[in-house]
Amino acid sequence: MLGDLVTANAVTVGMTTASVAPTERGTGVHVAGLVFRNPVVLAAGTAGFGQEVDDVLDLSALGGIATKAVSVAPRHGAPPLRVSEFAGGMINAIGLANPGLEAVRADCLPWLHRTHPGTRVIVNVVGNTVEEFERVVGGLNGLPGIDAFELNVSCPNVKAGGMEFGADPVALAALVGASRAVTTRPIFVKLSPTLGAGVVDAARVSVEHGATGLTLINTMPGLVIDATRRKPKIGFGSGGVSGPALLPLGLLATWRVSRALPGVPIIGLGGISTGVDAAQYLLAGASLVGVGTAALRDPRAPERIARELAAWAVREGVRDLTTVIGTLEWPA
């Protein structure tokens, strides 16, 4: 596994110390004060809270899992059809369906902690107001087994005419600051590709107001049409585009942010379907890599990607994966 490829003194990301505690599979990557078995994590929404894929996926082979979104109240989500594939990947409008804060706190997260205690758990948080984000983070903060929070700031701010939190520096600062006030755990802020070059500014605002790291990138808004029915392929109409088509967008966002904010942990996400894709994110500056659409197509894909990343490291003579983070050589 990947943990066996890194040395006993692996470089840490987002920490002041360079020592890394050993895990059951050797030495893992140390990110934001947490030891991960390897850099591969499941992206939010692709594996629920772990239970949904427990019979087909070995979570102990991965570094961690970002859970399904958690909101204050239960959400039933968007109407069917919620997911549709196309040549470049997948489009979805799940509508952030989830059982709500109380059920997640009472059942979903305790199960994950009991059955997979060595797997890092990053709780994805959504809301329509700053106060809702604060309530979810504060409501889960004392629960055992939660290692970090991930704030989905692509949500619309109902108090600002529906503008995404991530597109409004003032609202973004308030959201991250309010969440930081109720937890000392690491906070990752998940940013949208629609920000373009402005993703650097949003990342900087997030870090300045308490974020530990960033998740780059979320899905891209899009539309796929059923030409026979002359209607959108999915029930909501438009949706979030994910899959291979997002790889160049995610890599560019990761590169831009890693150059502007050196040392800030990044979970690189978007279009990863092979170990070489994952390696590209590390070269661009990511500390961890998230697998999403590939896992929806094949629940065993994350394990395969982890193995392929290990094989890439062997081929390239890389003994310590942390030594390649951010080493992309830009053309002169």
Positions marked active-site = 155
Contacts of 265 (CB under 8 A, 6+ apart): 13, 14, 31, 32, 186, 188, 212, 213, 214, 287, 288
Q: What is the number of other CB atoms lying within 10 angstroms of the CB of residue 55?
A: 7
Is the Cβ–Cβ distance between 37 and 65 less than 8 Å?
no
> Nearest 10 degrees: CA dihedral of 17, 201, 278, 322?
-20
Kindly state the DSSP code that residue 42 receives in the 8-state scheme: E
Is the Cβ–Cβ distance between 161 and 129 less than 8 Å?
no
Kindly state the DSSP code that residue 72 receives in the 8-state scheme: S
Nearest to 163 by CA among 201, 198, 129: 129
